[in-house]
Chain A
Amino acid sequence: MNGFVDIFLGSIEGFARAAWVTLQITIVSLLLATVIGLVFAFMKLSRKRLLRLLADGYIGLIRGTPLIVQIMWLYFGITHFLVLSKFWAGVLALAIHSGAYIAEIFRGAIQSIDKGQMEAAQSLGMSHWLAMRRIILPQAFRRSIPPLGNQFIIGLKDSSLVAFIGVTEIFHLSMSQAAATFKQLEYYTIAGLYYLILVVLFTLILHRIEKHLDKESR
């Protein structure tokens, strides 16, 4: 047990740096994923069949294949055509992956808003898009916060998979340390602890946001 504490304390500096990388990958990829999700949610709700089909294809492909395959695919595929750092390849793969799930979250939230809201807005002379922006989306966004938070936490943990294309984040560091020292159990436990800390942090922030939004209306 003493050994574990020593290893933990001794590796804090390295893991802190790695955790910072994990955090950067997560935040950048989730921001991108939110934008992607919003675009594809609108495509799925579009009246144009081609847009709906495209969105279905994208979501189907992403949901139907493992994230690790998508990461490899993007990293080894895209580097044929353009120079992309490991970091950005990882970020892009994670964004495209989470984007598909977030699209479904947004679509569900938008569809869950009572039809009467759009009718009321339009009966006041609002155009479809003005009504979307002012009336439907603010309500849908509130409703999507809990599942979105869930997806963000999944995204944080999924970022560990970019270790396999060599991004030196938490999991990558624990892998290399475990291999170098043969203290596999210790280093993977340490990795788990860092993820746990980050998830708890995320959860607290999400709670804050939910509470804040709850204060206004329902």
Chain B
Amino acid sequence: MIRIRNLHKYFGHLHVLKGIDLDIRPQEVVVLIGASGSGKSTLLRCLNFLEMKDEGEIWLMQERIEPDRVKLNKIREQVGMVFQHFNLFPHMTVLENVIEAPVHVLRRDKREATEQALSLLEKVGLREKADVYPNKLSGGQKQRVAIARALAMNPKIMLFDEPTSALDPELVGEVLQVMKTLAREGMTMVVVTHEMGFAREVADRVVFMDDGKIAEEGTPEQFFTNPQHPKAKQFLKSVL
């Protein structure tokens, strides 16, 4: 589904990603963990080209992607993204947020898109908030709307960039619950998170990043009970 070979990324002189190789299979849930600054968010953002790679190859769905602008929009239609700070459109109601891209990008019929949006909102437990503006929602509710908004494009892959890091602790659970449901339904997911409980319970594979490289990867069981890399041991000690 996703294949990354020798990916490099620089911010000026800063070498952020130092040769990443990673494969993600359909329906797999991969959790990226690591200390802040280890490059995990950058890696995720390279996958839908919010950051442009400097070197290496990215394959999505058997196609090698060499970004040009028109093509990028087409690719992004198939790759949903959920942000740490939600990034809902504040001048639109919840429903308008969800139907915006289906109607204006996919040119779907508005009534049809609305129907689908309402069922997605139902799924994330927010159907009754359809006509509310985002500033009236809690953080957890905002993030669930953001998930529904991404799903409305029927993406083949969902990327989550620290989706619960900006939430009050008591609101984390409701977002993780929605993500668990998605994973169970077979969505291919790449998740950057600090929620070790989620990684342990939901991930098929845990990828530990350190200093722009993949230091260790394995099943959650292997990784959490018997980490090999010294930095991984140290990291787990500090978070668990």
Contact = CB atoms under 8 A, between A and B. Distances in A.
A123 B146 CA distance: 12
B87 A117 contact: yes
A84 interface: no
Contacts of B146: 120
Contacts of A86: none
B153 A217 contact: no
Contact of B87 (A119, A126, A138, A217): A119
A217 B134 contact: yes
Interface in A113-146: 114, 116-117, 119-128, 130, 134-135, 138-139, 142
Given A124-B100, A134-B100, A217-B134, A116 B74 contact: no
A216 interface: yes
Contacts of B79: 123
B91 A127 contact: no
A7 B135 CA distance: 55
A218 interface: yes
Contacts of B81: 119-120, 123
A217 B91 contact: yes
B135 A218 contact: yes
A167 B186 CA distance: 73
Nearest to A141: B91
Contacts of B77: 124-125
Contacts of A123: 48, 50, 76, 79-81, 150
B105 A130 contact: yes
Nearest to A138: B91
B59 interface: no
Interface residues of B, number: 31
B135 A217 contact: yes
Interface in A55-86: none
B133 A216 contact: yes
Contact of A126 (B80, B83, B88, B105): B105
B92 to A, nearest CB: 8
A142 B89 CA distance: 13
Given A218-B90, A218-B135, A125 B85 contact: no
Interface string B63-87: 0000001100110110111010101
A135 B89 contact: yes
A105 to B, nearest CB: 18
B83 A119 contact: yes
B101 A124 contact: yes
A135 B134 CA distance: 14
Interface string A184-218: 00000000000000000000000000000000111
Contacts of B153: 124-125
A3 to B, nearest CB: 55
Contacts of A125: 73-74, 76-77, 101, 105-106, 153
A124 B90 CA distance: 16
A116 B100 CA distance: 16
Residue of B79, B88, B104 ringed by the most chain A CB atoms within 10 A? B104
Contacts of B104: 126, 130, 134
Contacts of A138: 91
B134 A126 contact: no
23 contacts: A114-B87, A117-B87, A117-B89, A119-B83, A119-B87, A123-B50, A123-B81, A124-B77, A124-B153, A125-B74, A125-B101, A126-B73, A126-B101, A126-B104, A126-B105, A130-B105, A134-B104, A135-B100, A139-B89, A139-B90, A217-B90, A217-B91, A218-B135
